[in-house]
């Protein structure tokens, strides 16, 4: 890092160990660093669960003080409600499965926050994502000289959540910890003497902390009970609202299986009749497996990919990326054909697109063609 030009960088500090070490790495490299906490959400609605924003601010400020860098809290709650929370609630009400974490990165960290940072004279924004950034060959004809690569730690790679970033956002992004394995990062946190060195990783959604998604949705979206049916239409039970279930869900739907070690799984949500459809899971369960899908809202992280090509498509976080043929349909849409059947492809979910380790961009599942 010492050979890199010195930049004025704003580091988004969440109060966790990852962003703390990211800030420390930038300071060690000699950059002009300032820390910021994005205040996106507070628990004013008394949602059930723990939203630790106050303690996170305290921890982030303490680390900034340890590192000797300026720190401030930026209130982005109004923008967050409009750009992320609204997207989340409308998606679930429409029967699709949105991803607020992906939209948080595109619309907030590298969107609204960058707009504010650039006005303050910053040249880049850094985050604690496990991702790497590489500069392409300067003699290349590409107009987009930067590319995002998967993080070095395969268990922590977070490039999926960056899939909808746009080229100008990639150019100003910095990922100081993407080359580290998690144990190495913890060791560095101890070496720097950071307050957050032993702090547990947060598992919450980007803006509601440890609150369960089900509890959050039930606070803002009224329950709408309806029948749970099998593939033949037989009623097996009652659901509380289609928005509370996801395709591929094995637990929590309340229907016990009569077969040993074979569970019922959610295979469809029928909005017109308000039916939740379940089936016994197997390697050939109808509606559960698919090879073809249509994508919309295609977003390129670098050069546009307009031609038919083989790539790797990751349909959700913690799911392997599968080989697939990508065929453009025009107007921001494309057909995706996997070489192997995929489980529980879901409308509304983000699909991250890769060429090996390089993140090409992302898109949203529009419709699924089942096998």
| Cα angle for residues 42, 109, 356 (degrees, 5° grid) | 130
Dist. CA 303–CA 167, nearest whole Å: 8
Q: With H, G, I as helix, E, B as strand and everything else as coil, classify residue 24.
A: helix
Which of 154, 156, 165 is CA-nearest to residue 129? 156
Cβ-based burial of 270 (10 A; exposed 0-12, middle 13-18, buried ≥19): middle
- Do residues 116 and 125 make contact, with C-beta atoms less than 8 angstroms apart? no
DSSP secondary structure letter of residue 370: E
Active-site residue, from 51, 206, 319, 351: 206
Distances (CA, A) of 228 to 94, 148, 217: 18, 43, 20
351 is catalytic: no
104 is catalytic: yes
Residues contacting 44, CB < 8 A, separation 6+: none
Dist. CA 252–CA 239, nearest whole Å: 10
* Active site members: 104, 206
């Amino acid at each position: 890092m010492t050979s890199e030009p010195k930049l004025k960088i704003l580091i988004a500090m969440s109060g966790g160990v990852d962003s703390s070490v990211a800030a420390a790495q930038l300071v060690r490299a000699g950059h002009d660093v300032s820390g910021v906490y994005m205040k996106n959400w507070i628990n004013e609605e008394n949602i059930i669960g723990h939203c630790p924003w106050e303690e996170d601010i305290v921890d982030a400020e303490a680390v900034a003080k340890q590192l000797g860098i300026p720190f401030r809290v930026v209130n982005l709650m109004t923008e967050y409600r409009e750009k992320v929370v609204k997207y989340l609630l409308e998606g679930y009400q429409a029967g699709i499965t949105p991803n607020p974490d992906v939209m948080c990165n595109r619309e907030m960290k590298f969107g609204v926050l960058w707009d504010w940072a650039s006005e303050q004279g910053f040249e880049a924004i850094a985050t604690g994502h496990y991702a790497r950034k590489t500069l392409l060959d300067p003699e290349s004809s590409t107009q987009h000289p930067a590319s995002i690569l998967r993080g070095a730690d395969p268990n922590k790679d977070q490039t999926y959540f960056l899939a909808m970033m746009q080229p100008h956002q990639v150019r100003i992004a910095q990922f100081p910890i993407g080359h580290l394995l998690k144990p190495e990062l913890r060791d560095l946190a101890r070496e720097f003497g950071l307050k957050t060195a032993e702090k547990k990783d947060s598992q919450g959604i980007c803006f509601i902390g440890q609150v369960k998604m089900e509890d959050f949705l039930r606070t803002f979206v009224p329950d709408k009970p309806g029948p749970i049916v099998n593939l033949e239409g037989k009623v097996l039970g009652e659901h509380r609202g289609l928005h509370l279930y996801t395709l591929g869900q094995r637990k929590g739907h309340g229907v016990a299986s009569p077969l040993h070690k074979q569970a019922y799984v959610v295979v469809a949500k029928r909005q017109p009749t308000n039916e939740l459809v379940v089936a016994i899971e197997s390697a050939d369960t109808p509606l559960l497996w698919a090879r073809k899908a249509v994508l919309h809202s295609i977003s390129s992280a670098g050069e546009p990919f307009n031609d038919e090509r083989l790539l790797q498509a990751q349909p959700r976080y913690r799911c392997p990326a599968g080989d697939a043929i990508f065929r453009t349909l025009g107007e921001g849409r494309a057909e995706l054909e996997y070489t192997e059947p995929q489980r529980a492809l879901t409308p509304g979910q983000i699909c991250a697109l890769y060429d090996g380790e390089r993140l090409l961009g992302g898109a949203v599942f529009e419709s699924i063609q089942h096998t």
